[in-house]
C-alpha cells in the first residue's frame, strides 16, 4: 500500500532486544535529530504532514511502537511488562542509539507521549527536549479520575479489561472500531487522509495488534502506574525542557482547567498552550 509519506524517508528495520521496530529516517543531513512517537490506534503514518516539515531542518526518525503498525508484537507477560512504557521507551532508546544518536528531541502524541514521558525520566542525559501532545501524565489522570473522566476516557477501562473480552469484541469489527474512534476524536480541521486511515485499518486487522494494544492499556493501569508512583516518591521530574500542546476542543482541553500547572508537577521547565482542535 502507498502511504502518504514522501520518498525522502528511508525504511529501516531494527531489532532492540530482539523485537522488530519498524523505523523510518530522513531529513536534513546533519540536522538535529527528532524522534516522533504516534498514538493509539495509529502508526508512524500519523506524522505524514508534520514529518516532511520538520525534515527541512532536522533529521527525523519515525517508528511504530512495539505492538503497533509493522513493529513486533510480543507477549505482554503476566504483569503486562511487555507493554510497560518503560519497556517501550527502552525500545526507542536503543533504536536511536543504533542510528547513531546519543542525544535527541522527542515528540509524542497520545500513547507516544506517555512513552516519551518515561523516556525523559529514564534517560535524562539523552533527551534534549520533549513535546507531549494532548495528554496529562498517566499518574495524574488515574489519581484524579472521576465520573466525567470515566465517561470521556471509557476506552481506557474497556481496553484494560482482562483477556479475552476486549480482544473478542474488537476482533469482530476492527475496521468499524478504528474509523469510529478516529471520527469521534476529530474536532474541525481537515479530514483524516483516506490513505492514512486505510493504513491504520490494515494494521489493526491483525489479531496480534489488537491484543498488543489492549496490553498497552493494561500496562497503563498497573505496572506503568506503579512505575510512575515510584518516580514521584523519589522526586523524579523531567529535566529536559517540556512543551505541552493540547486540543482545546478535545477531552484534555475540556476536562483539565490548567494543563500547564499539571505538567509543572512532573517537569522542571514547562511551556505550552492549547490549539484550536480536538485530540
Residue 141 lies inside a defined structural domain of this protein: yes
Residue 114 lies inside a defined structural domain of this protein: yes
Over residues 47-101, the pLDDT tens digits come to 999 999 999 999 999 999 999 999 999 999 999 999 999 999 999 999 999 999 9
Residue 43 lies inside a defined structural domain of this protein: yes
- Give the pLDDT score at 7: 81
Residue 215 lies inside a defined structural domain of this protein: yes
Which domain range does residue 92 map to? 10-275
Closest to 45 measured CA to CA, from 30, 31, 59, 62: 62
Cα–Cα dist 19/188, whole Å: 37
Residue 130 lies inside a defined structural domain of this protein: yes
67 and 43 in contact (C-beta within 8 Å)?
Answer: no
Residues in Cβ contact with 67 at an 8 Å cutoff, skipping those fewer than 6 apart = 73, 74, 83, 209, 212, 213, 215, 216
- Give the pLDDT score at 1: 46
- Give the pLDDT score at 153: 95
DSSP string covering 10-32: EEEEE-GGG--EEEEEEESTTPE
Cα–Cα dist 148/257, whole Å: 13
- Give the pLDDT score at 192: 87
Other Cβ atoms within 10 Å of 130 Cβ, number: 23
Is pTM beyond 0.75 here? yes
Residue 95 lies inside a defined structural domain of this protein: yes
Residue 4 lies inside a defined structural domain of this protein: no
User: Which whole number is the average pLDDT over 153-166?
Assistant: 97
Over residues 234-268, the pLDDT tens digits come to 999 999 999 999 999 999 999 999 999 999 999 99
Q: Phi and psi dihedrals of 271, rounded to 5?
A: -140, 165
Over residues 79-88, the pLDDT tens digits come to 999 999 999 9
- Give the pLDDT score at 123: 98
187 and 242 in contact (C-beta within 8 Å)?
Answer: no
Averaged pLDDT of the chain:
95
Cα–Cα dist 153/232, whole Å: 23
Count of domains forming the chain: 1
| Residue 151 belongs to domain with CATH number | 3.40.50.1820
Over residues 168-210, the pLDDT tens digits come to 999 999 999 999 999 876 666 678 899 999 999 999 999 999 9
* Omega before 41 within 30 of 0, i.e. cis: yes
Which residues are known to be catalytic?
A: 110, 279
Cα–Cα dist 3/210, whole Å: 21
Residue 1 lies inside a defined structural domain of this protein: no
Amino acid at each position: 500500500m502507498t502511504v502518504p509519506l514522501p520518498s525522502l524517508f528511508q525504511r529501516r528495520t531494527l531489532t532492540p532486544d530482539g523485537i522488530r521496530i519498524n523505523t523510518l529516517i530522513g531529513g536534513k543531513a546533519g540536522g538535529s535529530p527528532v524522534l516522533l512517537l504516534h498514538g493509539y490506534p495509529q502508526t508512524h503514518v500519523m506524522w505524514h504532514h508534520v514529518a516532511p516539515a520538520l525534515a527541512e531542518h532536522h533529521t527525523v526518525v519515525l517508528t511504530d511502537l512495539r505492538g503497533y503498525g509493522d513493529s513486533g508484537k510480543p507477549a505482554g507477560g503476566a504483569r503486562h511488562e511487555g507493554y510497560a512504557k518503560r519497556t517501550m521507551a527502552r525500545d526507542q532508546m536503543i533504536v536511536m542509539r543504533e542510528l547513531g544518536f546519543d542525544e535527541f528531541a522527542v515528540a509524542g502524541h497520545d500513547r507516544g507521549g506517555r512513552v516519551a514521558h518515561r523516556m525523559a525520566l529514564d534517560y535524562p542525559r539523552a533527551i534534549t527536549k520533549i513535546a507531549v501532545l494532548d495528554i496529562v501524565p498517566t499518574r495524574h489522570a488515574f489519581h484524579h479520575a472521576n465520573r466525567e473522566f470515566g465517561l470521556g476516557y471509557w476506552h481506557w477501562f474497556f481496553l484494560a479489561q482482562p483477556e479475552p473480552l476486549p480482544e473478542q469484541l474488537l476482533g469482530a469489527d476492527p475496521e468499524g472500531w478504528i474509523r469510529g474512534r478516529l471520527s469521534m476524536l476529530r474536532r474541525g480541521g481537515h479530514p483524516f487522509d483516506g490513505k492514512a486511515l486505510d493504513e491504520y485499518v490494515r494494521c489493526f486487522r491483525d489479531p496480534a495488534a489488537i491484543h498488543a494494544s489492549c496490553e498497552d492499556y493494561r500496562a497503563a493501569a498497573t505496572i506503568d502506574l506503579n512505575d510512575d508512583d515510584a518516580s514521584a516518591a523519589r522526586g523524579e521530574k523531567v529535566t529536559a525542557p517540556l512543551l505541552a500542546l493540547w486540543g482545546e476542543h478535545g477531552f484534555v482541553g475540556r476536562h483539565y482547567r490548567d494543563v500547564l500547572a499539571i505538567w509543572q508537577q512532573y517537569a522542571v521547565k514547562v511551556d505550552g498552550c492549547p490549539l484550536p482542535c480536538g485530540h
